[in-house]
Amino acid sequence: MTKAHIKQIAKKVLTCGSATALTLSLLAPAATPKVSAAEVTPSSTITEMVKLDPSYQQAPFDGWGTALVWFANITGGWPDEIKNQLADALYGEDGLNFNIARYNIGGGDSPETTPYMRLGGAVPGYWNRPAEFGPPNGNTEGWTEPKNWWDPTNPEHWNWDADANQRWWLTAAKSRGADTFEAFSNSAPYFMTQSGYVSGNWNSNNDNLKSDQYKNFASYLTGVVDHLQQQTGIEFKTLSPVNEPNTNYWGAKGRQEGSHWSPASQAKMINEVKQQLTEKGLGTVVSAMDETNPSTFRKNWDAYNTDTRNNIGQLNVHTYGTGERIGARDIAKGADKKLWMSEVDLSVGGQNHEDIKTGLAISERIQADIQQLEPEAWVLWQAVEDEVNMRPEHENGNWGLIQVDFAAKDFSDFKIYKNKKYYAVGNYSKFIRPGDQFINSNDKNTLAAIDSKDDSVVVVYTNSSTEQKAIDFDLSGFETVNKTASATPYVTSATENLQQKAAIKVKDDLLEAVVPAQSITTFVVSGVSGVNDVAGFLNNQDHYKISNLNSSKVLDVKEDGKVVQKTYDRDKASQQWSIQKVTDGYSSKEEYKIKDTNSGKVIGVENGAAVIQTDQDKTSQKWKLSTSGNQQFTFINTANGQLLEVGGESTKEDAGVDVWSANAGKNQTWIINKAGIVDIEPANVVVTKKKIAPEMPQEVTTIYGDGEKVQKAVQWDPIAPEQYDRENTFTVRGTVEGTNIPAIANVTVSKVESVEPIKVKTVPGKAPALPDFVPAKLENGTEGNVRVKWESIDPSKFESLGKFAVKGSIPYSHVKVTANIQVTKPALQNIALNLPNSGQEFPKVSASFTGQYDRTTNVNNGEISSERWTNWDPNSWRPEDWVAIDFDREDTISKIDFHFYDDGGGTRPPASLNLEYWDGTQWKAIEGTQLDVNATKDLTVKFAPVTTSKIRVVMKAMPNTCIAISEIEVFGNGDVTKADPSIGEDATLESILIDGKPLKDFQADQLTYEVKEKAVKDPIVTAVTNDLFASYQVSEKDDTAVITVKSEDGLQTETYTVKYR
């Protein structure tokens, strides 16, 4: 056969999913639907819909920036050309266009101290020690420095020439447009400390400031701020006197400045600094407390009294730990204070300037921080890092956005390395500018901000997956979307750095885009403005169910007027609420009343309890709402700043609802859904013979606000016989009790042309669930579902693994139906799962140690999230721990999926792990499961089956990190009667057909065949797979037909070759 002839035949060769192309899969495992090769097109990409919501606007944004600290201490003294390049890269309009600089007021070690800090870490202090207080003639033998020699009122005790390098960066930032400056301290000068070192106390859990030095230290900080403002003309809006205070990070002779402060010491320092700022007449306000993570931030705040809280003008928090962000958000909102995310950075993997994973990680951090914290600024730790120190032989990291050699001597061939984090941050900082306001969306991968002055919105989408995605951005939440509205994309990916792409026109309030795999894409959308009140996240007209995230019970009212939680009753009047906005704006700090639609009264607060009261417009009856767009809300009482909660995390019926300080608990988080029916799915009815009355469904599928689908009785309008006396289509309306939404039935009168065979799976011993209706092609050119009557099935057919067929008939039609049945082995089940509120003791998780803010139950609750188990110990690093799961009965286990939590900082996956099983008397190692994790967040471990009642994972931690697990899934046989059919692993053929005739002497394990040319004339090659749900594809190659078979799970392939001779 000639090559030309082969090409001609190729046009007729079939590409099929199996011998049956159209399928209806029943009893199949929950998985992403697979389509056959015949149904795949090059553009087949799953589309995600993202809805933007400008009705929830965060406060105008202060901007983006970095702390100067170490890198400024080094680079500010470099040649002008080099340091200006760096300043342009960070603060220049063509660079990242930062507008915030955090200036570090150094403490400074004693002149007699041998240098011990990292490069740049020894930030100079502004004190000057006169010779009279130093060692005579420099001889320290037998010399002790006098106590309390420093006098802030003595000009000779100040050195205003200090820290010239960092001061250069202050003025460089200002000259490039920076307009927001904060001063902060890591440590008091050495002579005010207990250890004599600015790096911390000898015991890092103890305060380092001497008890009699609070006033002096406050004089030092406020004096520096006052002088620098006069000297440079720079206004410091805030002064932060303590940094990551309630931690054990800061020990004497560590590599950087730092100091522990107990909450009481923090308060004392804050109060002293506030007093001295006032006495000096400075407009600078106190910012505090720059804690390392939101949970410790909350612990500190809860310990402050009212005076200390009032003395703080701005709240600062870091996100080196990310739990409890919403708690910090609600503390700030309840106290009516500005909140900054004032410091963070992360390092993903070993040093690699081109690794897009670092860019994706920083982008994800920005998005989550801003969505959940609602900060008014987002500031990096330090944007420039020591490239040499980041090399594999040292820290081997990707800290900083730019890396340079801090110890450079020769600048003639100087290299500046910008990593992917640099460009990823640029996707935000270059386009979302000071004064813009972040708005909500229903997608955690999307961050959007409006510029009301320019009638535009900036949308940043992070695609961390390895596949491109089609994204539809719904802009209907805006009041106006101009006909000329368009979006300009800017893409950072593995191969692109803020690459501008062709503009995309907005059509019908929809921005349709495709984002590359592993990319950050910024869309600058013009021509949008205002707020569409009808499309907002809440409105005054609708009624809502308010359910507690912790208990899954809903707000209800007792006869005595107390607000309680009760089991969800979809139609109960006392569980329906109206949320009435009583202020006029669209900010995230608007005020609302929660109104009982049954009585017309509102929820107020009385002696700490939530009660129903007559509306008197009191502040205790008003609430601020917080949400990150995920339908989860917190309610903050306007009068006292406390949150609506179910006390004691109770899950009991009739448990009381009260208010308490923000703690980010699930018991303080509420899910709001519209009450009642919000939609009715249309019914589609096919009449296969004219003049036969339609068989109308007795029930329709109603959809409630929480997504629950309920079958409800329907009363259809009368149907006149002339509507179905001929082939046509028509609509019938119906009525469902309890809603004004009409039911709709689309009726088609047409003969059936054909029905493709369907495919159904089952497991041994379980009769296949055959559908009452199957999809059919109708003679009028449309498609619809038609009723089918199936033949009875002999139970012996499904007793064991195999395949068989069942025949069926369609009323009033000669067309027959075939169901091909596959009896397959049961799928493995996650036998570790124990859902919240299940009431079951087992499966039960235990651990050798659990961090005080975490729970063992988080690892088998079915949720892969930031809620986790950790072995975090504030007192010491724990190098090894174990987590065990007790199933309370034996099962055969062969696979475990681990989902670790990784914040890129101190909370990470383990360095390594090994698995053990319980043999009834002791723990034994599972062979082949000793693994290095290599910072993998999602890890599957497969092994030879073991039968056991308990499983245990023993883990070693990465240096100086705690281990964090979000979820463990253990796969065993489970209850076989409840098992789904497994996903097929077979990629072999049952037969090959040429022009419909089976290939002679075919065997599944024989992969190559020869066919005489004379026996083949314009052949059509098809195949039958051994597994009904496997797919195959036929292609030509020279004088050969190649059949590539892929198993249903996509993991196995087999290739069969038919050669023509």
| pLDDT tens per residue across span 278-290 | 999 999 999 999 9
Assess whether pLDDT exceeds 50 at residue 23: no
Domains 47-59+435-534 and 538-675 share a fold: no
| pLDDT recorded at residue 1039 | 84
* Whole-angstrom distance, CA of residue 432 vs CA of residue 257: 33
| pLDDT recorded at residue 631 | 86
| pLDDT recorded at residue 12 | 26
870-893 pLDDT, tens digit each: 999 988 999 999 999 999 999 999
362-421 pLDDT, tens digit each: 999 999 999 999 999 999 999 999 999 999 999 999 999 999 999 999 999 999 999 999
Q: How far is CA 606 from the centre of its chain?
A: 37
C-beta separation of 89 from 96 below 8 A: yes
| pLDDT recorded at residue 889 | 95
Question: Sorting pLDDT into bands at 50, 70 and 90, what band is 1015?
Answer: low
Full-model pTM: 0.77
Upstream peptide bond of 192 is cis (omega within 30 degrees of 0)? no
| pLDDT recorded at residue 546 | 97
Question: Sorting pLDDT into bands at 50, 70 and 90, what band is 553?
Answer: very high
| pLDDT recorded at residue 39 | 26
Assess whether pLDDT exceeds 70 at residue 114: yes
User: What is the average per-residue pLDDT within 170-180?
Assistant: 98
Question: Which contiguous run of DSSP H or E holds residue 993?
Answer: strand 989-994
Question: Sorting pLDDT into bands at 50, 70 and 90, what band is 1036?
Answer: confident
Percent of the chain at pLDDT > 90 equals 88
Assess whether pLDDT exceeds 60 at residue 865: yes
Nearest alpha carbon to residue 179 among 492, 499, 355, 434: 434
Task: Return the sign of the alpha-carbon dihedral for residues 940, 946, 949, 953.
Answer: negative
Nearest alpha carbon to residue 985 among 824, 786, 823, 841: 824
CA–CA distances in Å: residue 383 to residues 395, 425, 972 = 17, 10, 48
Percent of the chain at pLDDT > 70 equals 95
Nearest alpha carbon to residue 955 among 845, 848, 865: 848
941-998 pLDDT, tens digit each: 999 999 999 999 999 999 989 999 999 999 998 887 788 999 999 999 999 999 889 9
CATH fold of the domain at 70-104+160-429: TIM Barrel (3.20.20)
User: What is the average per-residue pLDDT within 150-164?
Assistant: 98
Assess whether pLDDT exceeds 60 at residue 913: yes
Question: Sorting pLDDT into bands at 50, 70 and 90, what band is 37?
Answer: very low
* Whole-angstrom distance, CA of residue 84 vs CA of residue 69: 17
Question: Could you tell me whether strands 643-646 and 677-680 are parallel, antiparallel, or unpaired per DSSP bridges?
Answer: unpaired
C-beta separation of 449 from 427 below 8 A: no
Q: How many CB atoms lie within 10 A of CB 703?
A: 15
* Alpha helix stretches (DSSP H) within 255-355: 263-279, 294-303, 306-311, 325-335
C-beta separation of 452 from 437 below 8 A: yes
* Whole-angstrom distance, CA of residue 802 vs CA of residue 289: 67
Measure the CA angle with vertex 401, ends 400 and 405; round to 5°: 65
C-beta separation of 262 from 205 below 8 A: no
Encoded amino acid at 248, one letter: N
Domain 538-675, CATH class in plain words: mainly beta
Q: In this predicted structure, which of 167-171, 448-452, 1034-1038 has the lowest mean pLDDT? A: 1034-1038
Assess whether pLDDT exceeds 80 at residue 27: no
* Whole-angstrom distance, CA of residue 103 vs CA of residue 67: 6
* CATH number assigned to the domain with residue range 829-978, chosen from the 4 options 1.10.40.30, 1.10.10.10, 3.40.50.300, 2.60.120.260: 2.60.120.260
Domain ranges of the chain: 3-20+983-1060, 47-59+435-534, 70-104+160-429, 538-675, 678-749, 752-823, 829-978
310-347 pLDDT, tens digit each: 999 999 999 999 999 999 999 999 999 999 999 999 99
| pLDDT recorded at residue 1012 | 81
Residues sharing a CB contact under 8 Å with residue 375, sequence separation 6 or more, in sequence order: 317, 339, 340, 341, 369
461-482 pLDDT, tens digit each: 999 999 999 999 999 999 999 9
780-793 pLDDT, tens digit each: 999 999 999 999 99
Assess whether pLDDT exceeds 80 at residue 14: no
Task: Pull the structure tokens for residue 717.
Answer: 């309008």
| pLDDT recorded at residue 45 | 57
C-beta separation of 536 from 439 below 8 A: no
Assess whether pLDDT exceeds 60 at residue 894: yes
234-268 pLDDT, tens digit each: 999 999 999 999 999 999 999 999 999 999 999 99
Task: Pull the structure tokens for residue 341.
Answer: 């995310």
CATH fold of the domain at 47-59+435-534: Immunoglobulin-like (2.60.40)
Question: Sorting pLDDT into bands at 50, 70 and 90, what band is 730?
Answer: very high
Mean pLDDT across the chain, nearest whole number? 93
Residues sharing a CB contact under 8 Å with residue 1017, sequence separation 6 or more, in sequence order: none
Strands (E), 292-389: 312-318, 338-343, 377-382, 384-386
Side by side, the strands of the sheet bearing 1040-1046 are 1008-1011, 1053-1060, 1040-1046, 1031-1036
Side by side, the strands of the sheet bearing 677-680 are 677-680, 699-704, 709-713
